[in-house]
Amino acid sequence: MDAHHLLSPSGTFPAAEVEACIRAALDAEHAAQQVLRPHAASACEPEVDSLVVVEVICAIEETFGISLPESFAPRGGYADVEACVSALMAETQAVWMESSKEVEAHHV
State how many domains the chain has.
1
Q: Is residue 14 part of a domain?
A: no
| Residue predicted with more confidence, 68 or 38 | 68
φ/ψ of 78, rounded to 5, equals -120, 145
- pLDDT tens across 1-49, in order? 444 444 556 678 999 999 999 999 999 998 887 776 666 555 556 789 8
Return the SS3 of 69: coil
Supply the pLDDT for residue 74: 87
- Domain limits for position 38: 3-8+22-106
**99, part of any domain:** yes
Tell me what pLDDT residue 38 has. Answer: 62
**Residue positions counted in the chain:** 108
Is 73 a domain residue? Answer: yes
From residue 37, alpha-carbon distances to 29, 31, 94, 97 in Å are: 11, 10, 34, 38
Note whether 91 and 68 are within 8 A (CB): yes
